[in-house]
Each structure stands twice: as C-alpha cells, then as structure tokens.
Amino acid sequence: MQMLQSRDYIVFIIYFLIVACYGWWVYQRKRTAQSSTKDYFLAEGSLTWWAIGASLIASNISAEQFIGMSGSGFKMGLAIATYEWMAAATLMIVAIFFIPVYLKNKIYTMPQFLNQRYNSTVAMIMAVFWLLLYVVVNLTSILYLGALAVSSISGINFTACMLGLAVFAVIITLGGMKVIGYTDVIQVFFLILGGLVTTYIALNLVSDHFGGKGVLNGMHMLTEHANDHFHMIFKKDNPNYMDLPGLTVLIGGMWIVNLNYWGCNQYITQRALGANLKTARGGILFAAFLKMLMPVIVVIPGIAAYLLYKQNVFQTEMLQNGEVNPDRAYPVLLNLLPPGMKGLAFAALTAAVVASLAGKANSISTIFTLDIYKKKIAPEADEKRLVWIGRVTVVAAMILAILISPFLGIDKKGGFQYIQEYTGFVSPGIFAMFILGFFWRKTTSNAALFATIGGFILSILFKFLPLVANLSFLAPFGFSKANDSGVYEIPFLDRMGFVFVICIVAMYLISMVENRKGLRSNGLEVDRKMFRVSPGFAVGALIICGLLVALYTIFW
C-alpha cells in the first residue's frame, strides 16, 4: 500500500497549523469571557450563522461516514444517502419547531429541558445515561474508527494515531464552544475540499477505465454500468432490505432516527442554543444545504469503488482475510491519489474525526458540569471553577475513551453499525418523551419515565423476539424478512417505529390517568408566533424540499 509522501505531510502540516493558529487567535481574542459558563460551553451570542452551520456538519461527519458510509455505498449503493438527504429535511423541522422552544424557554442542555418540563429524577437519569452513551459508544467509536482509518492510510502506528487525534481534539475543545465553532469552519472547508478531490479522482478512474474522459463521463458510466446501485427505495427481494426497508426511509423509522439525533441531542443542538432564533435558523439552513452535498463526497466514491472492483481493477485491495470488506473502499481510493492530493484527502479525513471528537467532548463536559456537578456535587461552585471542571472533564473523557475503545469490538461491528445498534435501543423512547413534552402540556413525569425505561425494554424485546416467536405473518406487510438461517426478523428501522408508537400510546394513557388524579407536570412556554419563519428561510427550505423531491423521483 502506498503511504504518505513528503508533499502529503507538508499539506497536512499546513492544515494543522491553520486550524491550531486560528483556534489560538479566537481563544486569545475572547479570553476574558472564558470564565463564563455560557460563553465557554455555548459561545453565547458569538457564533454566526455560517459558523453554526459548519460546526453542525463538522460535528456530524466523521470516520463512520467517510469509511462506513462509503463502504455502504460499495455494498448497497445510493440508497444509503437517505441518512444524509432525510437529515436535510429533518433539519428544517428542527429549525422551525424545536429550536424556538429551546430558545424561548432558555434551555441550554437536554437534561435541563427534562428537569424544567418533567422533574429532576427524569433529568438526572437521562444525564447519566447520555454521559455513558456519549463516552462509551460515541466518543470511543469515533476515536477508534478514526485512528484505524488514519493508520491504514498513513502507515503510522495505530496507537500513535489514536493519541494524536485525541490530543488534537482536546487542544481545540479546551478553548470552549467558540473555538470549536470557528475552527469547525476550517475543518468543513478541508473536509469538503478533500472529499470532492477524492470523488473527482474516483470518477476519472471510472471514465478512464471505459475509454472516456472527465468526471461527467465517469458519472454517466457509473449510472450505466452500476445501475443497480442507483435506487433509493429497496423492494423486499433486495438483499439490503433489512438495513433500509422500503418506504420506511420516507414515512417510518428514518424520521425517528433523524429527529432524535438532530433535535434531541446535546451533541448537535448545543451549536445553536447560544444564538438568537434568526442566527440559529440560518445556521441550520446552511447545514441542511451541506447535508445535500455529503453523498457526493462519501457515497459516490464507494459506488465507484464497487464498479472498479467488478471490473477487476483492484480485486486484491478490497480483500481482508480473504473476503471483500466494503469499508476498505475509501482507503483504497485514497491510496490511488497523487502526492499532495492524498495529503489533502488525509487532512479532510482527520478534520472530520477531530471536529467530531471535539464536539462530542464539549457536550460531555457541558452535561457533566452543568447538570451533575453543579446540581449534585458542588451547587456553590462559581463560574471560574465550573469552566475548570469542564476542561478537566474533557481530558478525563478522552483518556477513558482511549483506554476502553480497543476492548469494545468496534472493529468487528463497524463504527456506523456500532453506534446505530446501541443508540437505536433508546432513540424511540427519548424522542417520544421530547415530542410530547414539547407540544402536549398534559404529559406527566411518570409517562416520561415509562418512555425512558419502557422504550429501552421494548427495543430489546423486539430485537430478540424472533428467537422465540415466528414473525413470518408480518412478511406480507413488509415488516419482517427471513435471514440466512430462515428466521424472520424485523428490520431495524421498523422496530424503532413500533417502539415509538407504543411509547406514544402508553404515555398518553398514563398521562390521562394521572391528569384525572390531579397530577400534572410543568408545561413549556409555547406561542404559535414562535414558529413563523422569515421569507429568506422559507425560500431556502422550499429549495431543499424541491431538491429532495427531484432526487427521490429520479433515483426511486
């Protein structure tokens, strides 16, 4: 495998210096405000719309997209882009309905929302849960998969890559949300530029193989010779149906995945919670446009690698232990880049990993400091001490992730699957708790507790139900399919949909019973005027919706 050359290292060092120096400049410029918790954790009033949008994408895109989603493009094609394109639609809903509620009620963390809307018990349970989820699942998988990808491309020792990524992320995170937000603009620039370079090279390779010239010809050859990889909606006979079960990606569980991730996730919403409504909405709209672009960067290269593999261009490079490993698609393409360009793509991958690590570490720090330390451990702590505790938490979380990540089997599951498997057990219940908490004042605390605990139990039940019951009767409706062993399983996204509906119904019944007994929880301040949007936002949202309709119509 061709490793990085001197020109690649020069490009990468330039990237590192630009990010580090700019971050230091931002930190020094606003250093006097760093003793404020709202400034450190939220960069209150400091982030512009373009910084918020860039930070949202930088925090979201990481090695599991570059490596995992490209691998899924190799395996199942453009259909995996539904995670990105449906996210763009979801961001519009979050901007219109969710963000105004958070800002109007001065909510800065997700546990704070639960405390304000329900009670301290629900808030503390979820604060502890989110900390465990963010550290044990998200931070570890991002760090481990990122180090694995960087090591395979550069030839640098895996442990050294892990330590280097962690230190780089910690340096950025210690500067607070303002430094993260503005350095994320640079990270996204490198991420998109490097990603487009890889896509350009991949399409040129396809074009050259078939005797053509240029990326447009390469794209035409791709759609012609790999037509089976350009369908967004799978039929039941598709081998990848269990991953993306037909229309569920448009009207089912995919909405739960995205609305929970983009609307009820400290890691994401924190970027917009320190801004005013107009700025926050502008940033989210910008992020939605960037999400529309992501499949070009992370999915198309995977499809190109699939076609080239089928054409015997690099048969051995895609093999691992004698079997085809789709996750090798992106690293294989990177190793075909010329010196200099490979360094740019390498910088893009590193930028994606570091930005995600920094964002996740900042969210872990925020929840621990404001929702656990300040409330339960040291209520009398002043602002300066809270900021110091926040920084210590960042370092501690990163060290813990380094220590435990090699023992979690992330490499066997794949980072994308690892995250989806564990967060999917709780996403339906959490989203049900949030959505009713937002818009139905009669929802009670015990109903929220049921969604939290009962939703998790129901998810496990549906996961293992096929082992004790024959679910073939669901097959005609598209809700089950036989696996290689002949056992009828429920697709992952459909399971989430079932659990969500059950949680909503159960929460309604529990709340109605308790309301009759005179038990109520605190409602949020909600005014219909909050949901009005500016003409500019409305035009942008309509453009995104139009693009989505066109894409799904063309590639149905």
Residues 6+ apart with CB under 8 A from 342: 2, 4, 5, 8, 153, 334, 335
User: Within this chain, do residues 345 and 487 fall inside the same structural domain, yes or no?
Assistant: no
Residue 544 lies in a domain: no
What whole-number distance in Å separates Cα of residue 282 and Cα of residue 541? 11
Domain hosting 95: range is 6-15+48-410
pLDDT at 507 (0 to 100):
93
Residue 419 lies in a domain: no
What whole-number distance in Å separates Cα of residue 214 and Cα of residue 226? 18
Q: Is the pLDDT of residue 319 over 70?
A: no
- C-alpha distance from residue 324 to each of 284, 307, 535 (Å): 38, 14, 50
Which of 93-102, 141-150, 286-295 has the weakest average pLDDT?
Answer: 141-150
Domain boundary among the residues 356, 383, 410 is at: 410
State the total domains in the chain. 2
Residue 28 lies in a domain: no
Q: Which residues on neighbouring strands pair with residue 324, listed in sequence order?
A: 319
Which of 92-106, 225-239, 247-261, 483-497 has the weakest average pLDDT?
Answer: 483-497
Domain boundary among the residues 410, 440, 475 is at: 410
Residue carrying the six token digits 């894409």: 551
Where residue 85 falls (left for φ over 0; alpha for ψ -120 to 50; beta otherwise) is: alpha
User: Within this chain, do residues 448 and 394 fall inside the same structural domain, yes or no?
Assistant: no
Q: In 3-state terms, what secondary structure has residue 555?
A: coil
Q: Which helix (H) or strand (E) holds 28?
A: helix 6-29
Which of 43-47, 316-320, 377-381 has the weakest average pLDDT?
Answer: 43-47
pLDDT at 547 (0 to 100):
93
Structure tokens at 454: 């009962």
Q: Indicate which CATH number applies to the domain containing 98.
A: 1.20.1730.10
Residue 534 lies in a domain: no
User: Within this chain, do residues 211 and 248 fall inside the same structural domain, yes or no?
Assistant: yes
User: Within this chain, do residues 297 and 187 fall inside the same structural domain, yes or no?
Assistant: yes
pLDDT at 324 (0 to 100):
74
User: Within this chain, do residues 404 and 442 fall inside the same structural domain, yes or no?
Assistant: no
Which of 260-264, 367-371, 481-485 has the weakest average pLDDT?
Answer: 481-485
User: Within this chain, do residues 261 and 198 fall inside the same structural domain, yes or no?
Assistant: yes
User: Within this chain, do residues 146 and 278 fall inside the same structural domain, yes or no?
Assistant: yes
User: Within this chain, do residues 432 and 376 fall inside the same structural domain, yes or no?
Assistant: no
User: Within this chain, do residues 216 and 313 fall inside the same structural domain, yes or no?
Assistant: yes
Beta strands in 114-252 (DSSP E): none
Which is more confident, 163 or 179?
163
Residue 22 lies in a domain: no
Which is more confident, 470 or 293?
293
Q: Is the pLDDT of residue 33 over 70?
A: no
Indicate the pLDDT class of residue 91, thresholds 50, 70 and 90: very high
User: Within this chain, do residues 309 and 381 fall inside the same structural domain, yes or no?
Assistant: yes
pLDDT tens digits, residue range 263-284? 887 767 766 776 788 888 998 9
Residue 84 lies in a domain: yes
Residues 6+ apart with CB under 8 A from 150: 156, 161, 165, 346, 349, 350, 353
What whole-number distance in Å separates Cα of residue 302 and Cα of residue 314? 13
Other CB atoms within 10 A of residue 475 CB:
13
- Runs of H (alpha helix) within 210-252: 215-225, 248-251
pLDDT at 344 (0 to 100):
77
Domain boundary among the residues 384, 410, 436 is at: 410
Residue 206 lies in a domain: yes
Q: Is the pLDDT of residue 484 over 70?
A: no
Reference 84, options 356, 349, 353, 292; nearest CA is 292
CB 137 within 8 A of CB 419: yes
Other CB atoms within 10 A of residue 164 CB:
17
Residue 452 lies in a domain: yes
CB 178 within 8 A of CB 39: yes
User: Within this chain, do residues 322 and 391 fall inside the same structural domain, yes or no?
Assistant: yes
Which of 192-201, 321-330, 421-430 has the weakest average pLDDT?
Answer: 321-330
Of the ranges 277-286, 421-430, 511-520, which is most confident? 277-286
User: Within this chain, do residues 482 and 393 fall inside the same structural domain, yes or no?
Assistant: no
